[in-house]
Amino acid sequence: MELSERVASFASSVGALTYRRIEELVSGRPAELYEASMHLVRAGGKRLRPLLVVLSSRMYGLSPEVSSWAAAAVEILHNFTLVHDDIIDRDDFRRGVPTVHKVWGEGLAIVAGDLLFAKSYEALLKLLDYGVSHERVASAIRELTWAAVTVAEGQAMDILFVSRERVAVEEYIEMVRKKTAGLFKSSILIGSIIAGAPEEDLVKLSEFATDVGIAFQIRDDELGLVADEKVLGKPKYSDLREGKKTLLVLYALERADERQRRKILSSLGRPGATREELEEVAKTIAELGALEYSNKLAEEFVRRGIEALYSTNPRDPDSREMLKELAYYVTRRLY
């Protein structure tokens, strides 16, 4: 599924504006540090989170001119987590380019991530110059901080799951709720808070963003198994090689007979596994119906999320329409 021309064009203008904000914020010396920090930002990405910020702000009447600073904040925070994740997972490629630590070394990559983290707060503080009140900016900072804590907890769970024998599907959902949906939720909340959305809408929007975030991660796991390597921008099956307990793996392990179970476990998390062996594992997972299952689950999350979204009272229903389209796109995207 592709986005409609209208939403795609809006998304592209938000992406460009957010990029300009980030470029302005993330510049300085030493040059190597700032180059390293901007590396993944320059490489692109879907810039979905900025869109969540700008659209939820727009729902309550705040212009992208202002909200783009908050959009920059969440996109910078997201990029910080990617830089550190790539070190942790020892990934060599992302967004079609070598990862930061592959180019600048691990030490500078750790520091580049830290710098981005700090810069995400600088981005939110910019809102004060655009007339957003100290109270609202403080609330936005609270949400960003909550997201950073939550993402760290989810990331730690993800790491700890690798060496655990059994992980329940509920634990996976809990991990994803933190690791991925945490920043989706805070993106929506930051956008709506700085625009002055009513308290009761914040609750609904949180539900919407959390559900869509979970669906997004489920789809992400699927794409690691089925997507074309070129659009993926990184090697296929890296999750399998790293021993990640994705929903697909968990579902397949639950349903596998002894032979299938042995086949999956013999290659999962083994750095030396060949492409063919991983291909075999992916085939087994697919044969066990994991993709149908995860697809259905993702669709269910999105359905529930949209229900919450439509119990809000926005000033601008058009922005809500676009958020709905985005939510559908998230589970059906091809990369």
- The site for a second copy (CB under 8 A) is made up of 28-30, 32-33, 81, 84, 87-88, 106-108, 110-115, 117-119, 121-122, 125, 128, 133-135, 137-138, 141-142, 144-145, 148-149, 152-153, 155-157, 159-160
Q: How far is the CB of 259 from a second copy (least distance, A)?
A: 32
Peptide bond preceding 30 in cis form (omega within 30 of 0): yes
Nearest residue (CB) to a second copy, 107 versus 272:
107
Q: What are phi and psi of 94, to 5 degrees?
A: -155, 140
Cα-based torsion angle of the residue sequence 98, 39, 143, 158 in order, rounded to the nearest 10 degrees: 10
Distances (CA, A) of 292 to 149, 219, 251, 279: 33, 11, 11, 18
Question: Strand, helix or coil at 94?
Answer: strand
Q: Within the chain, where are the H helices?
A: 5-25, 31-43, 48-59, 64-89, 100-104, 106-125, 134-162, 169-179, 181-194, 199-226, 229-232, 238-241, 247-255, 258-267, 275-287, 290-309, 317-332
Q: How far is the CB of 158 from a second copy (least distance, A)?
A: 9
Nearest residue (CB) to a second copy, 111 versus 203:
111
Q: How far is the CB of 247 from a second copy (least distance, A)?
A: 19
Nearest residue (CB) to a second copy, 51 versus 115:
115
Rounded to an integer, what distance in angstroms lies between the CA atom of residue 266 and that of residue 252?
A: 14
Nearest residue (CB) to a second copy, 157 versus 264:
157
Q: How far is the CB of 35 from a second copy (least distance, A)?
A: 11
Nearest residue (CB) to a second copy, 96 versus 105:
105
Q: How far is the CB of 119 from a second copy (least distance, A)?
A: 7
Q: How far is the CB of 93 from a second copy (least distance, A)?
A: 19
Q: How far is the CB of 128 from a second copy (least distance, A)?
A: 7
Q: How far is the CB of 28 from a second copy (least distance, A)?
A: 7
Q: Are 208 and 327 in contact (CB under 8 A)?
A: yes
Nearest residue (CB) to a second copy, 111 versus 169:
111
For 10, residues 6+ apart whose C-beta sits below 8 A from its C-beta are 51, 322
Rounded to an integer, what distance in angstroms lies between the CA atom of residue 109 and that of residue 240?
A: 24
Rounded to an integer, what distance in angstroms lies between the CA atom of residue 34 and that of residue 23?
A: 10
Nearest residue (CB) to a second copy, 58 versus 119:
119
Nearest residue (CB) to a second copy, 30 versus 257:
30
- Burial environment of residue 97 by CB neighbours within 10 A (0 to 12, 13 to 18, 19 or more): middle
Rounded to an integer, what distance in angstroms lies between the CA atom of residue 159 and that of residue 153?
A: 10
